[in-house]
Chains A and B, each alone.
Chain A
Amino acid sequence: MIPPAGPMPAVEFSGVHAWFGTTHVLRAIDLAVAPGETVVICGPSGSGKSTLIRTVNGLVAHGAGTIRVAGVTLDGGAKAADAVRARVGMVFQGFNLFPHLTVLENCTLAPLHVRRVGLAAARALALGHLDRVGLADLAGRRPAELSGGQQQRVAIARALSLEPDVMLLDEPTSALDPEMVGEVLAVLTDLARGGTTLLCVTHEMGFARAVADRVVFMDEGQIVEIAPPEAFFDQPRHPRTRAFLSRILG
């Protein structure tokens, strides 16, 4: 396991707060994610876990504290946000594929417009990532022609086409039919084992136990407990963690 305090963390929160209007949604977040580490974030709904990973690429602006991603400090400016987003891939609960573009075009968008490689290179790159998620043969289809599981795998390939330093996953399997969860988790497991830095919000506790380096438990906008998966699941310390685990594991 990689110690969280390496030479330069991939993602570093220090004293981060965020508000929606007057609601205090993130409170005093301190967390460092090492390069190559897989961190699973869980917690009850409304606990701020989605908000937390959305602050990493500036989709949600934090109100106080410092967030550094791959050495870039998010200062609320467009320049820093663009620099960070070019190095951070994100996968959403609802896939958010672009329905007017083909699968391949979804995946070449970032290489063409952000990384500015040529068309041929962008296609080769995108096909490589589609192949990695097992969907290279569907490159010419529209997202609407794919199953939910296939769409989410395309979304993963699309995020990978940035060749990101960090991948953010916001409940990637929550919108899927049960029979399709497995194929997506298999791709994510492959990513985690392949050394991609993952920051994953999920309720898939089996995945967390098998793949995570650390599990972060959040409640009421704050980090309540951080532990390696064995310790987290077998000897949870905080009463809220225990209550949460007993609710979802039954």
Chain B
Amino acid sequence: MNPDTMNPDKRFVRESMIPPAPPPRRISGPLARIRATLFPDLANGLVTLAILAALVWLVPAAFRFLVVEAVWTGASGEACRPEVVGHPVGACWAFIGDKINYLAYGSYPTAERWRPNLFFGLLAFGVAWMLWLGAPKRTWGAVYLFLVVPVLAYVLLAGAPALGLVSVATALWGGLLVTVVVSGVGIVAALPLGILLALGRRSDWPVVRILCIGFIEFWRGVPLITVLFMANVMLPLFLPGDLTVDRLVRPLVGIALFASAYMAEVVRGGLQAIPAGQRQAALALGLTPFQATRAVVLPQALKIVVPGIVNTLIGLFKDTTLVAIVGLADFVRVLEAARADPRWSAPAVPVTAYVFAALFYFAVCFGMARYAGFIERRLAAGAVR
């Protein structure tokens, strides 16, 4: 304490400036950090202890179920019965191993399974190209992923007799293949369509605005299951008799439009967060309204709503399981079918099937969330304050 600065009657002039010093140990260092995060006070300390106790109870149990007591090999349900094995049985991974091809391709003909494999490879290459921010020529990556892959996928999967590829009816598609196709098309369609709808909803033209509002509110106002039933049952009634739409395409269109309505509202939130001055400044520079939107407003708006976009995409990915209701054999549906196989009747099998489904969906959704987190941190690093 400096008596001169504390004394209201005394004039003070500093004689030498104080150099910066490191903080005391109490408020920095690893021990202090652990203390501050886990045991800052009594209530927080108790919560920490409770969580630790729960982990001590849950983690070994999960490990025992998933690994220690799990059955890894076997050709039928017998291998997963406790009375046969002689100890309690956890997960029956032998069942997953036996059915893995069915889970991946459904009833896609065995001889033609190189085609879904090639499709998965092409898709993975495109996704990696887009997600790896340092990749060269990412514009071409987008063209490849959003234009080339869909066309190739259609030719590959549905077949093109002219090219020597046998036609494979969509009724035979199943498992991971259907889940990837449905969610992939949904994502590829929902994002651009959602952006257009969000821009349309803010348009100066009343007709465009009203059409977009009507579209968005209609799709947000009906449950997805209703949409799928409508697409499956009603759509053929509205179309001319000689025009049939594939039973895979019908729910696809429904899901894409449904997701785009949600995406539109997410994007609109971002557009509203951009100050009017940004658009004015862009217009004042001579940019057309379209250029101002594309180069100035949209990039900033989309950056703000990355969490919302990923949230919508995760929801969309999980919603694809509902296509089972209109008879498509998505990943969960084929798991259901596989576990009903009498050859694999054992108490451990249904549990294993659902645990596997949970792990699969969790891995994909958690991956999306983590990637979004990485993107957010990168964008935040680019714009200080």
Contact = CB atoms under 8 A, between A and B. Distances in A.
Contact residue range for chain A? Answer: 20 to 34
A85 B285 contact: yes
Contact of B286 (A94, A96, A97, A162): A162
A109 B287 contact: yes
Interface of B: 275, 277-278, 280-289, 291, 295-296, 299-300, 303, 382-385
10 contacts: A86-B286, A90-B281, A90-B285, A92-B281, A98-B296, A99-B383, A100-B382, A109-B296, A110-B285, A114-B287
Interface-centre pick from A57, A109, A110, A162 (highest chain B CB count, 10 A):
A109
A97 B299 CA distance: 14
Contacts of A209: none
A167 to B, nearest CB: 11
B273 to A, nearest CB: 12
Main SS class of interface, B:
helix
A140 B285 CA distance: 20
Contacts of B382: 100, 142
Interface-centre pick from B285, B287, B295 (highest chain A CB count, 10 A):
B285
4 residue pairs, one from A and one from B, having the closest CB atoms: A96-B281, A114-B286, A90-B284, A86-B286
B280 A59 contact: yes
A26 to B, nearest CB: 18
Interface string A104-148: 000001100111000000000000000000000000001011000
A82 interface: yes
A114 B285 contact: yes
A50 to B, nearest CB: 11
B277 A113 contact: no
Contact of B383 (A86, A100, A115, A158): A100
Interface-centre pick from B281, B299, B300 (highest chain A CB count, 10 A):
B281
Contact of A59 (B284, B296, B300): B284
Contacts of A158: 285
Contacts of A168: 284
Contacts of B282: 98, 109
Nearest to B288: A82
B126 to A, nearest CB: 25
A65 B381 CA distance: 49
Contacts of B281: 90, 92, 96-98
